[in-house]
Structure 1
Amino acid sequence: MATLRLLVIRHGSTDSNRERRFTGWRDVPLSDVGRQEAEAVARALAGQPVAAVYASPLQRARVTAEIVAAAHRLTVTPLPDFREMSFGDWEGLTVSEVQACFPEDFARWRGTAPQQVLRPGGESMAEVAKRVGRGLAEIRAGHPEQTVVLVTHAVVTRLLVLSALGLEPDRYWSVDVSPAGITEIEYRDDWTTLHRLNTLAHLESPPPSREPAREDHTTEATRATVRPPTPRAGLADPATSEP
């Protein structure tokens, strides 16, 4: 039985994310924070038996993937099927600007019918889902019994998760996807399992210190109060989530 373990990574942060702009096919670079996030992902996956790294050809995903791939001495294979959704006339606009210029479509997008929105010059969610399914089939065919990293975007990641859970695109806002979040999906011939969703603990851990180790004087009582950070995952709030 062929099994694919797919580690889906959303690219690191960009200035457009911070400004809450619809980016889509605009080829914006990672911000300094985004590069740091990509390095944190690379550290988190350094011990994984990664056989291949794929990415959207847009530079925010490609550069994130290159940072992750370097830890495994791999090169990145670009797959256009995993490019972000084209938001057409919405691209470059902030959430508030889209809400003002396209109030009815924006209400559907942020409500219970995001799959019904047809933006001028953009893609429908059905069109994106079709190409994502095509790209996934290509990866599955090429990597039986292997672990593969895919660096992509918010819409694509949500569609992969919804498909894995057998949910329709109208449940789009049931999935939260953050920059540099890690999602793990296992594909078998007869079953698909979502093992983790949008884990972010690696972003809350500082990079390894280069200073010499110091003697630990922490008491047992103090250690008992320390708790690991809780990664965010699960439901997204359409009012506050990025586009």
Structure 2
Amino acid sequence: MTTLLLIRHGETPWNVLAKVQGCQNIALSETGKAQASLLSERLNGAFTAVYTSPLHRAFETAEIICKPTQLSPIPLEALKEVDFGSWEGLTFKEISKLYPTHFNTWLTDESTGPMYDGDGSIQNVSRRAKACIYSIVQKHPNETIVMVSHGGLIKSALIGLFDWKMNMYHHFALGNTCITTIRFDEAQRPMLVSLNDTTHLNTPVTAV
């Protein structure tokens, strides 16, 4: 049994402003660093490898997670956030006003989740994320591995792994530094064990 911990990065200034970050290289806020430290204390090095998106907010979260260990995070392009193209830097409220038709189709389409530009569709990201996860799981039988990525990428990955409709993307939320746990049996069949676990943040977060 291989255990995969899918982790969203810590908070950024753009998260606070509700701006779509996508592939913009936004760093962690001080609160985000504190969240990552709490997560690191919770995990306490109980994993054998850490893979991460190369974007600053994810990579820095991964570095903090690795502090109790001798491990270094391994960056993978396939774990980068959804490329939202023209929508990056805007809030979803702004997007709905500027691109009403495309935004509504993105929200409601079940088969591909087409986007205005960027990655083109949720389906494209879902396929990328699913392929990346299976390739890593194959390398780590019977281990616990961490992947630090982004809310959009993780949601797309779950859609791919569990064959959900594309508009499921819009029906659940993932908090900063949340853990989503998936276990894979010997046949590499995935089982969702927990979703959006942020119990480590019950401790008051202070700036570091």
Taking structure 2 as the reference length, what is the TM-score of the superposition?
A: 0.90
Structure 2 counterpart of 1:178, one-letter code:
G
- CA positional deviation for 1:93: 1.3
Q: Deviations over 1:26-74 (max 9, x none)?
A: 00000111111111110110062x1000000101000000000112221
| Partners of 2:126 and 2:159 within 8 A in 1 | no
Match of 1:227 in 2: none
- Residues 1:60 and 2:38 aligned together: no
Distance in 2 separating the partners of 1:184 and 1:171: 18
Structure 2 counterpart of 1:74, one-letter code:
L
Distance in 2 separating the partners of 1:192 and 1:31: 33
Structure 1 counterpart of 2:81, one-letter code:
E
- Residues 1:128 and 2:125 aligned together: yes
Structure 2 counterpart of 1:54, one-letter code:
Y
| Partners of 1:128 and 1:156 within 8 A in 2 | yes
Match of 2:84 in 1: 87
| Partners of 1:40 and 1:203 within 8 A in 2 | yes
Tell me, what secondary structure is at the counterpart of 2:48?
strand
Structure 2 counterpart of 1:160, one-letter code:
A
Structure 2 counterpart of 1:32, one-letter code:
E
Distance in 2 separating the partners of 1:83 and 1:120: 16
| Partners of 2:45 and 2:68 within 8 A in 1 | no
Structure 1 counterpart of 2:68, one-letter code:
A
**How has the CA–CA distance of structure 1 residues 111 and 19 changed in structure 2, closer, same or farther, with 3 Å as cutoff?**
farther
- CA positional deviation for 1:193: 1.2
Match of 1:188 in 2: 185
Match of 2:199 in 1: 201
Match of 2:156 in 1: 159
- CA positional deviation for 1:130: 1.8
- CA positional deviation for 1:113: 4.6
Distance in 1 separating the partners of 2:10 and 2:37: 9
Structure 2 counterpart of 1:145, one-letter code:
N
- CA positional deviation for 1:121: 3.9
Structure with the bigger RCO (C-alpha within 8 Å, sep 6+) is 2
- CA positional deviation for 1:110: 3.6
Match of 2:134 in 1: 137
Q: Deviations over 1:70-113 (max 9, x none)?
A: 12221000011010010000111122221221011222334455
Tell me, what secondary structure is at the counterpart of 2:145?
strand
Which is greater in Rg? 1
Match of 1:40 in 2: 38
Distance in 2 separating the partners of 1:179 and 1:114: 28
> What 5-or-longer segments of structure 1 have no aligned partner?
208-243
The percent of aligned pairs where both chains have the same amino acid is 31
RMSD, aligned CA? 1.8
> What 5-or-longer segments of structure 2 have no aligned partner?
none
How many pairs align? 204
Query: Structure 1 residues 29-38 or 157-166, which shifts more?
Result: 157-166
| Partners of 1:164 and 1:194 within 8 A in 2 | no
Match of 1:27 in 2: 25
